[in-house]
Each structure stands twice: as structure tokens, then as C-alpha cells.
Structure 1
């Protein structure tokens, strides 16, 4: 993915792409969810309730909760069975139109769905949705499973709800496996907030867009002009012939990771810039940047494809 967007015209907007309400199994009404996020300083959210028959296949119209400082993206959490482990699929679809034809998925319990996850996510992507594989660690996603979603744009590499409830909020290994197979997928950090527990305000995306509108945000998400965070900020990433240059908020660690075991780390006190040599990545087709602050909070770049 390109990195020039960091300094290109536009503004970074903070958003959560995985959220639930009383339209499915969340604790708060849609208007309350939107208000909570706006009060916490977010610029946008996507309400992604479970797209199941038992909830009436909700694609909640949240447009009435938009205002000059806050916007919403329509979305759902798609389901279908079954993954390799026999459990249901969970896939986030942001920007799904309200007239999207639902699959025949009546409930969370096991059943033989007539539509495969490949067909369902292809339909959603064709309808304009940004498709993200949800909580791969919690779901038990296998590499074979991941290959069944060629329409995916992103992988959920941090899910705050799963992290605090069962310590299965990580998706980095699944993402790396997909990158190693040549799939040019971005990453997202999310809350998966239901508001039954403190599962909110823990992971987000910072999207660089011309304006805070659903259309501009969706275009930026598809283009990969964003990064993900649980705290730190990434201000710029510059790629030279020999180095990766990173500007960020105060951190203790700047790490560049590539294919296989390729990795290089810079450590220091309250670093706001760093330079890491690319010599360890001579045969890696991609790299990604991660920064960690003194509280252990992280931010992740999208992959940068080197195209040697």
C-alpha cells in the first residue's frame, strides 16, 4: 500500500468499524451507541449488527445520527457456516447498502447454509462493501479458511472485545500468513463493542480522507489510506532505497516486520522519529511498521509492498 497519503491533502478521521446495538446482541440503542462514540472523540463509526434472521437481518439506518462533527457508515456482521472448525463465519461488511439481499442464516446455532462464505462475501463486495475478516484468533481461522474469502479487503488484527474477554483479540499471525501468500490485505483495529462489558474505545482506525463523509471514508478504506491503533499515532512513513523512516507520537519501540522471520527493531526513550535499514528485507515482498508506547499500546501500518 502507498505511504504518500500521510502527507497528502486531507485529514485523519478516527473511527470504529465493528460495533453492536440492541438491533442484535448489544446493550445500547443505536442512537446511544453513536452518541457514546461521538462523546469519546470519534469522528465516525459503523454499526455492524449481526446479520441473522433472529434479529431480522438488520442494516440499521444511522444517517439521522450524523452531524457536522460525526458520521456513520452502514454495515453488518455477516454470518454463514461453517469454518474448518465447525463454527460460524464472522465477517464485517462496512458500507453495505440497505437493500442487500440477506442470506438464509436464521440463527447462531449450527446449520447447513445454502450460500457459501465465498459467494456471500463476493456479493457484499460487489454491492460496494469493505470486507474485513473478523477476530481470526477468536474464530479459530485456518489458512484454508482465509483462502475462501478472496473478496476480503482487510483482516481484523486487533479486536478489543475479544482481547479483554478471552485474550483472543489478536489477528497478526493470520494476516502475516495471508501477506506471505501474496494477498494485499490491509489491517484494522476495532472494538467489537457490545457495551455489556468495557469492550469499547480500545482499538480504532485513523483514516486519511478529503472529508468526513461515508463516501470519502469508504473510498479511503478501499485505497488503504489509513492505519490502525490502540493508542499511538503514526505521522509519516517514508521509504527510501535503503531505509524506512517513521515519524510518530512518543514511543519506546519502532519495529519493521517482513516475510518469514525478517524483522528489525529500534528502541529508545520517547522516540518521535526513527530510521531502520532495509537490508534484512532484501527478499521480502512486503514490510509493515508497528510502534509501541510506554503503556504497551500499539499502532500498525498497512503493508508496504516493495515489488523488488
Structure 2
């Protein structure tokens, strides 16, 4: 079995799905944000400013910033309702229509008579967006919170801004618990860039699509045809009943994770191919792969079924 990111026709396109401008709490105007990502070698970004009353619910049509070799997806970071800790939800929605209706969210404090987090996530998904549970560690999110967002396509496994700003950039624990409950989820790495600290160009997705077009990219995201990375490249990933086989750029560790304590790693020097046995995954219906390079940077596959289960 091969993952769709490595078998379907098309090319890999590099993109950041979580970005802020001075339309909310970022420090650069949208044109400059797009220029910097383009000049850094990105093929696309989603500008996802905070969709909240104090910023006048910004949902900018970024099509004017598209150019040869660079495109944009419309999106926002949605806020409505309270999590178990009493704080407002943060839900990433990429591919929103330009006329998506605001919630009753005047500021970063929950108020009466507003949608819950699960409700606004479901409304955004129904409108065509790719929905992600944003920075679960940074948010102080409980498993019950995460369970409630049944409209989610993905969980942020890495948020560069949260990592650099407060050492809370991860989301793997929440993701793995949801996978073990049978949820069908992918994972994304993002910047959450505000350009107010070193929060940019640190995590991205590589999306396999026939062209660098917003509709094609969004379809590929929803279909799981991508992987996420801080730098290492995944070249191919296949799995049979005995092992997971990974082709990648130079790595020191190739790790397979699964349900519970299930994990197995192969370590070496400058590895570009590794086969990880599946003998420890007898009770895991799902698997995923992490590749680690010599500088400590990671790449992550999306989860996939365990053929030996």
C-alpha cells in the first residue's frame, strides 16, 4: 500500500496554512506577508487572520496577491464559544468563502448567545473549508475539547509560533488519542506567523496536486494528499504486512508510531531509505511516520491503516 501523496499525479507544492497580518495581530500588511513567503520559496499561503469583532472580522480576498508560481487560499482563524478552561476556541479554517458570516465574537472572551466551537467548525466545513484543531498544547485543550470538534479534518502537530513563543508547539498527543478512538484525521505543520518574533518559515505542508491552484490544493488537503515538515523531505512511503518502507532526504531516525505505546525506530547516519518492522503494532489500527534529520528537524506523514492489524 502507498499513500496518496506519493502515488497520485501531480507535483508537491510548499505552503503555510496559518498566517496573520496587520488586519489582526500580525505586524505586516497582507501584501508584505505574501511577498515574504513567495521570496522564501513557498508556492502558496493561507492568510488566516483572527475572525473576531475587535478586528472587524477580517476575511480578505487575497487573489490580488497571486502571481506566476504563487497562489493564495482564503481563510481565517475562527473564535467562538469556550473550551473547558474558559478560554475562547481557536479553529483554523482554510478555503472559506469570502462571504462567510461572522459569529457573535466581539473579543477574545466568550460571551452569551454565541456559537460553540464545534458549531462554528461545522458551519465552516459545510461552507467548504478545511478545518484544523489549532495549537492544542498552546490552547490548554483537553481531550474532551478536541473530541468535540467532529468537523475537523486535521490537528496541528506542530505550530512554529507556539514553539518559539512558549515551547508549546506540539499536538501529537491529542492527535494520537483521537486516532486511537477511531477518528479519521490528518496532521499539519504551520507557522502561525505574526512576524513579531521568530515565528515564520519553520513548519509547512507539502501538498500533492496537479497544479498550484487554490481549488486543486484544497481538494488535496481534504483528501490527505500531503505531508508536513520542518525541512526533511519524504520521497515515498509504502507499507506491507511486515514493515513500513520510507524513502526520504538524509535522516538519522525513521520512527513509526501507533496506538498506545506502540512505536519502533530505525537509527543510522545519512539514511535515505529505511524499513521499520511492524511486529510491535499488533493492536494498532493506525500508523504514522516521523523522520528526524541530523539537525533535529522533523517531517511527518499523515496517518494510514495498519495492514497487519
The normalised TM-score by structure 1 is 0.98
Q: How far 1:2 moved relative to its partner? A: 6.0
Change (3 A) 1:149 1:44: same
Alignment match, 2:159: 159
SS in 2 for 1:255: strand
SS in 2 for 1:196: coil
Query: Alpha-carbon deviations, 1:161-200, whole Å to 9, x = none?
Result: 0101100001110101111111011000000000111110
- 1:79 equivalent to 2:90? Answer no
Alignment match, 2:245: 245
Tell me, which stretches of 5 or more residues in structure 2 are unaligned?
Answer: none
- Taking the aligned partners of 2:89 and 2:180, their CA distance within structure 1 comes to 23
- Taking the aligned partners of 1:7 and 1:188, their CA distance within structure 2 comes to 19
Tell me, which stretches of 5 or more residues in structure 1 are unaligned?
Answer: none
Alignment match, 2:193: 193
User: Which runs of at least 4 in structure 1 moved beyond 6 Å after TM superposition?
Assistant: none
Alignment match, 1:209: 209
- 1:297 equivalent to 2:297? Answer yes
Alignment match, 2:277: 277
1:233–1:299 Cα contact (<8 Å) kept:
yes
- Taking the aligned partners of 2:59 and 2:169, their CA distance within structure 1 comes to 25
Alignment match, 1:93: 93
Q: CA RMSD in A?
A: 1.2
- Taking the aligned partners of 2:119 and 2:60, their CA distance within structure 1 comes to 23
Q: How far 1:261 moved relative to its partner? A: 0.5
SS in 1 for 2:41: coil
SS in 2 for 1:279: coil
| More moved, 274-283 vs 73-82 | 274-283
Q: How far 1:23 moved relative to its partner? A: 0.8
SS in 2 for 1:194: coil
Query: Alpha-carbon deviations, 1:200-245, whole Å to 9, x = none?
Result: 0000000000100000000000000000001100000011121110
SS in 2 for 1:89: coil
Alignment match, 1:182: 182
| More moved, 102-111 vs 230-239 | 102-111
1:2–1:225 Cα contact (<8 Å) kept:
no
- Taking the aligned partners of 1:100 and 1:187, their CA distance within structure 2 comes to 24
- Taking the aligned partners of 2:245 and 2:113, their CA distance within structure 1 comes to 48
- 1:21 equivalent to 2:21? Answer yes
Q: How far 1:80 moved relative to its partner? A: 1.2
- Taking the aligned partners of 1:87 and 1:117, their CA distance within structure 2 comes to 11
- Taking the aligned partners of 1:89 and 1:272, their CA distance within structure 2 comes to 40
The normalised TM-score by structure 2 is 0.98
Q: How far 1:108 moved relative to its partner? A: 1.2
Query: Alpha-carbon deviations, 1:17-67, whole Å to 9, x = none?
Result: 000001111100000000000000000000000000111111111101111
How many residues matched?
308
1:2–1:304 Cα contact (<8 Å) kept:
no
- Taking the aligned partners of 2:291 and 2:273, their CA distance within structure 1 comes to 11
- Taking the aligned partners of 1:106 and 1:259, their CA distance within structure 2 comes to 40
1:105–1:113 Cα contact (<8 Å) kept:
no
